[in-house]
Chains A and B, each alone.
Chain A
């Protein structure tokens, strides 16, 4: 069981909007530590798509957005495209573990 909880899977049709949640606790997200999001395409290394809760690295489309509230965070993807089909992971720092932690990952299927 991961310290950060994500839904195992989400799906949506092309053009639709989907959200992926990441639920933590008072020792990580709730303690004020930032949440970051990664996209992992099949057989490739993960790629940073959101850092510091809501910031996009250069080159990441503005269809990707992030937010954080309390002990949870969310990744939203609008205008779904077939190329968005991938696994998505959230990450934060946990003070009780004195290190970073990942969510269990969410598989996005574009119908």
Chain B
């Protein structure tokens, strides 16, 4: 069974750093792209970027380029999303998601990680 299991909810202060994770199981991680999707409170889905675990090829949405870093450790089948300096506007639910291909649909989603940034 394919599963994407994300790390737990986080409460941080503005200016702090954060790295959240997404562990894949039940399939070969290097055969699929892993993406990240943001959903701000009461708002829609926003595609942030994507990484191929096989070669770490990474693409970012222009809206998120320079704001976050996507990485992967294929030895432990885990993808990451990190911030170096959080802002209150980063408060959102973040989903990791498996893409069948660069242009393809998201066939599996993680359960989501709620990030709250507040002073």
Contact = CB atoms under 8 A, between A and B. Distances in A.
Nearest to A99: B61
Interface in A62-93: 87, 89, 91, 93
B49 A99 contact: yes
Q: Give the bracket for the number of chain A residues in contact with chain B.
A: 20 to 34
Given A45-B112, A99-B59, A100-B35, A51 B104 contact: yes
Given A46-B45, A100-B35, A51 B105 contact: yes
The B interface is mostly helix, strand or loop, or mixed, namely: strand
Contacts of B107: 48, 51, 57
Contacts of B47: 91, 99-102
A47 interface: yes
Interface of B: 35, 37, 44-47, 49-50, 59-62, 95, 99-100, 102-107, 109-112
15 contacts: A2-B44, A38-B45, A40-B45, A45-B95, A46-B37, A51-B100, A51-B104, A91-B45, A93-B102, A99-B49, A99-B50, A100-B99, A102-B44, A105-B44, A105-B45
